């Protein structure tokens, strides 16, 4: 099929299509173009457009073939970011010499025989399309030797011109070499990015494969330099750390779901980053299902859900998660680059991941160390862990192409470093005005309140709290009526009083509402608080009553556009929260279509939202003075409550400055 057919550049093919479009204005009326069957090469090249986008796609497909061939070691060699040369060497089962030509043929595969088998695909490949597609847009050679053979055979191709299999020297396994990618489709070649960019993508592909298959050894060489080398026979933990960067170890939490899902034919192993290393995008989430890297919304949502309240909105957890399951439970034939899968039972997978990640987070003290922040500011360049998640390999290219823009997330380029620096500056900027807003207003309030207090100290000699007998370990200092400073075994703890109190209240209330199922106790009001409402809100009120009662709110319509609050949760009343304000927020939520839908379902999510709002209102504010007892009580709760490291919005409640950090900051080490 490849011999004889005229070699047509894709531009010619698209050119003729363009001719149809321009024909209309010239010819006075549309003149139909004739229909012709595409030549096999053009068909292949069009198909290749789906599979082969860039060197990295070639790397991915060829590594997958090696994995399917049962390789123990896979070596990848690249030149010029893969644009010039890609060579994949494996020690797998090899290809029989007489099958070599078939490997080049489209829709030829040794992996799937019947449509039924497509239902449960155990291999990475199944379409028989990859090699054909790659060959149609490159100069390719496959040299292979099966264990039975004395010597290797090699078959070369150039576009659609296929050579003859010849004996060649070579050890057991298969070596596929791809040169001059897109040499015959200049338009495609033009779309290739710079060498560092393409190389970065290739690194990602190799890293993904290495993470997905811990038992296989991988070596990556770029322009003669070894940039990644992981030995065969590793366990998932060691492999993930080897790829992500060993220095991240202390920032990663292990989560697994082995026993839990053994009965359902699913196991999971993962490493998730503590909230402190959350990122601005979800690029640092590596998800693998049955050895395939996938971008899966179900799983990403489960991760986000587990982290809810631990990181700020707009931040994404870092995670690497390996899932193995019965191939019958997952459809892999849904995306041209196999970058997505479809689960037969998505909610089960969601639950499993959510629980495993949640459990891992619950076990940990997630208090970020101030040290990491200090280092972020000062030592960004030296510490790749902040610049990019892992990828020692990728950095090797930097000296040569220092100025080049690097798109890969794995590369701590100057730009990425700058970005992190900026994010960090933003972090502080965000914290301050936030504090400022709550803080300043309520600080002023507090000041005027203390002004209004009778000057009791004039009547009796002052008995300042400072004179209280000091309790050495538990001394707490309230700074600017906003932050608490105390110590623990490791060093100094700095606590945002509002954030911590908010979290503590949130957890208590959620416990009561969700787990105990009892709902919140409420205080009836002497005179109902009347709020204005819209007709829609009033109409929807009745449906909400059961949910509101559970949350200690009793609202009733007393007119077509008036609602009365008869009762409110006791704890809100005690904290002096304005019932009208709470009612208005609830009514506004009911008015928006999205809010209404979730309120109607009374989902856990919406309960969380409301409890969150309540906790925020009831919590001590920046600027609220607290007594020693109150301070001690609050800090004691920090240890008693889950997720106390972050407020329900995900901002940190506590920052730790260890003794080592202090020593470092004072230049003692």
Partner 1 sequence: MKVICDRAALLSAINAVARAVPSRSPRPQLQCIKIAAVKPAKGGGELVVSGTDLEVAIRLSISQVEVNQPGEVLIPSDKLRQIVSAESNEPTLTLEVAGDHVTIRGADATFKLNTYPVADFPPLASYAETVAQTSAAPRTRTNFGIGAGVLRTLADRTLFATAKEQSRYAINGVLMKRDGKKLTMVATDGKRLALCNGGLGAGSSKDDKAVSAIIPTKALQMLRDLVGDVEEPVHVVLTDSQLICAFGGDISGKEPARATLTSNLVEGTFPPYEDVIPKEQDRRVTFDRDVLRSAVSRASLLTTEESRAVRMKFSNTGKQLHLSSRAAEMGEADIRCDIAKFEGDDIEIGFNPNYIVDALKVIPETEVIIELKAANKPGLVKAGADFVYVVMPLNLT
Ligand X SMILES: Nc1ncnc2c1ncn2[C@@H]1O[C@H](COP(=O)(O)OP(=O)(O)OP(=O)(O)O)[C@@H](O)[C@H]1O
Closest CA to 362 of 647, 641, 656, 654: 641
CB 19 within 8 A of CB 98: no
- Euclidean distance between CA atoms 458 and 240, whole angstroms: 67
Per-residue x/- track, 418-457, partner 1 (CB under 8 A): ---------------------------x-x-xxxxxxx--
# chain residues binding partner 1, by CB under 8 A: 41
Closest CA to 620 of 558, 557, 574: 574
Nearer to Mg ion, 212 or 311 (CB): 212
Question: Smallest distance, Å, CB 94 to ligand X?
Answer: 6
Neighbours of 375 (CB within 10 A): 17
Does residue 506 touch partner 1 according to CB under 8 A?
A: no
Q: Does 125 contact Mg ion by CB under 5 A? A: yes
DSSP 480: T
- From partner 1, ligand X, Mg ion, none, which one binds at residue 81 (CB under 5 to 8 Å depending on kind)? none
Number of helices (H) and strands (E) in the chain: give both, helices first.
24, 23
State the nearest-atom distance from the C-beta of 182 to Mg ion, in Å: 19
Nearer to ligand X, 96 or 375 (CB): 96
Return d(Cα 501, Cα 521) in angstroms, integer: 20
Beta bridge partners of 88: 76, 176
The residue whose Cβ lies closest to ligand X is 125
Binding-site member from 520, 582, 586, 655 for partner 1 (CB under 8 A): 520
CA distances for 317 relative to 202, 276, 359, 506, angstroms: 24, 9, 15, 22
Both tokens assigned to 612:
């969150």
633 touches partner 1 (CB under 8 A): no
Report CA torsion sign: 305, 307, 309, 315: negative
For ligand X, which is the closer residue by CB, 94 or 648?
94
What are the structure tokens assigned to 266, written together? 């699913």
Contact between 130 and Mg ion by CB under 5 A: the answer reads yes
106 is an interface residue for Mg ion by CB under 5 A: no
- Minimal CA–CA distance to 243: which of 224, 226, 218? 218
Binding partner selected for residue 75 from ligand X, Mg ion, partner 1, none, CB under the kind-specific 5 to 8 Å limit: none
Q: Considering CB distances under 5 to 8 angstroms, the limit depending on partner class, which of partner 1, Mg ion, ligand X, none binds residue 522?
A: partner 1
Segment near Mg ion (CB under 5 A); pick from 127-135, 180-188, 293-301, 315-323: 127-135
Q: Give the per-residue contact string, 561-580, with partner 1 (x = CB under 8 A; - = no).
A: ------x-xxx-xxxx-xxx
Helix, strand, coil shares of the chain as percentages rounded to 5?
45, 20, 35
Cα separation values, 560 from 448, 538, 539, 592, 638, Å? 40, 7, 8, 19, 46
35 binds, options partner 1, ligand X, Mg ion, none, Cβ within 5 to 8 A by partner type: none
93's contact among partner 1, Mg ion, ligand X, none, with CB below 5 to 8 A by partner kind, is ligand X
Q: Residue 515: CB partners within 8 Å, gap ≥ 6?
A: none
Which of 126, 424, 427, 508 touches partner 1 by CB under 8 A?
A: 508
Q: Where along the sequence are the contacts to partner 1 (CB under 8 A)?
A: 445, 447, 449-455, 458-459, 508-509, 511-512, 516, 518-527, 529, 549, 552, 554, 567, 569-571, 573-576, 578-580
Binding stretches for Mg ion (CB under 5 A): 65, 125, 130
């Amino acid at each position: 099929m490849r011999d004889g057919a005229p070699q047509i550049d894709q531009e010619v093919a698209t050119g003729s299509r363009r001719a149809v479009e321009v024909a209309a204005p010239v010819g006075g009326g549309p003149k139909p173009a004739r229909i012709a069957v595409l030549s096999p090469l053009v068909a292949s090249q069009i198909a290749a457009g789906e599979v082969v986008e860039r060197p990295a796609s070639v790397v991915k497909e060829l590594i997958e073939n090696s994995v399917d061939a049962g390789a123990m070691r896979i070596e990848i060699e690249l030149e010029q970011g893969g644009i010039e040369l890609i060579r994949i060497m494996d020690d797998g089962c090899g290809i029989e010499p007489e099958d070599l030509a078939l490997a080049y043929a489209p829709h030829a595969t040794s992996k799937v025989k019947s449509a039924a088998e497509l239902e449960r695909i155990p291999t990475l490949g199944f379409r028989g399309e990859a090699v054909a597609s790659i060959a149609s847009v490159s100069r390719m050679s496959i040299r292979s030797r099966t264990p039975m053979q004395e010597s290797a055979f090699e078959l070369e191709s150039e576009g659609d011109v296929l050579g003859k299999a010849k004996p060649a020297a070579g050890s057991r396994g298969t070596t596929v070499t791809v040169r001059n990618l897109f040499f015959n489709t200049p338009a495609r070649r033009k779309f290739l990015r710079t060498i560092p960019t393409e190389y970065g993508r290739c690194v990602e592909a190799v890293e993904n494969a290495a993470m997905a298959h811990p038992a296989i050894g991988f070596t990556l060489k770029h322009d003669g330099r070894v940039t990644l080398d992981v030995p065969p026979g590793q366990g998932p933990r060691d492999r993930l750390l080897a790829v992500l960067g060993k220095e991240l170890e202390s920032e990663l939490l292990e989560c697994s779901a082995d026993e839990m899902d053994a009965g359902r034919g699913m196991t999971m192993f993962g490493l998730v980053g503590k909230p402190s290393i959350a990122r601005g995008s979800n690029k640092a989430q590596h998800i693998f299902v049955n050895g395939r890297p996938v971008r899966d919304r179900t799983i990403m949502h489960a991760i986000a859900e587990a982290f809810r309240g631990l990181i700020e909105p707009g931040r994404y957890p870092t995670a690497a998660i390996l899932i193995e399951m019965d191939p019958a439970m997952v459809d892999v034939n849904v995306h041209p680059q196999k970058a997505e899968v479809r689960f037969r039972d998505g909610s089960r997978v969601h639950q499993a991941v959510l629980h495993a990640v949640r459990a891992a987070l619950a076990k940990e003290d997630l208090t970020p160390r101030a040290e990491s922040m200090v280092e972020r500011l000062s030592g960004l360049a030296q510490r790749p862990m902040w610049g990019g998640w892992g990828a020692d390999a990728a950095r090797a290219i930097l000296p040569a192409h220092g100025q080049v823009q690097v798109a890969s997330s794995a590369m701590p380029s100057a730009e990425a470093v700058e970005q992190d620096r900026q994010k960090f500056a933003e972090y502080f900027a965000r914290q301050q005005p936030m504090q400022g807003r709550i803080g300043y207003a309520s600080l002023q309030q507090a000041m005027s309140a203390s002004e209004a207090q009778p000057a009791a100290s004039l009547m009796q000699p002052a008995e300042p709290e400072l004179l209280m007998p000091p309790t050495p370990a538990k001394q707490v200092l309230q700074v600017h009526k906003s932050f608490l400073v105390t110590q623990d075994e490791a060093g100094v703890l700095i606590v945002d009083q509002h954030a911590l109190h908010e979290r503590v209240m949130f957890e208590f209330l959620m416990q009561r509402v969700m787990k105990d199922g009892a709902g919140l106790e409420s205080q009836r009001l002497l005179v109902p608080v009347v709020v204005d409402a819209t007709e829609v809100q009033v109409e929807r009120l009745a449906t909400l009553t059961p949910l509101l009662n559970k949350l200690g709110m009793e609202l009733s319509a007393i007119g077509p556009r008036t609602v009365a609050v008869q009762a409110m949760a006791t704890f809100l009343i005690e904290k002096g929260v304005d019932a009208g304000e709470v009612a208005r927020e609830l009514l506004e939520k009911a008015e928006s279509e999205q809010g209404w839908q979730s309120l109607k379902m009374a989902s856990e999510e919406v309960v969380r939202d409301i409890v969150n709002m309540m906790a925020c209102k009831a919590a001590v504010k920046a600027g609220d003075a607290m007594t020693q007892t109150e301070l001690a009580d609050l800090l004691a709760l920090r240890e008693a409550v889950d997720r106390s490291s972050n407020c329900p919005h995900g901002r940190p409640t506590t920052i730790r400055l260890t003794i080592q950090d202090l020593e470092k900051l004072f230049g003692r080490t």
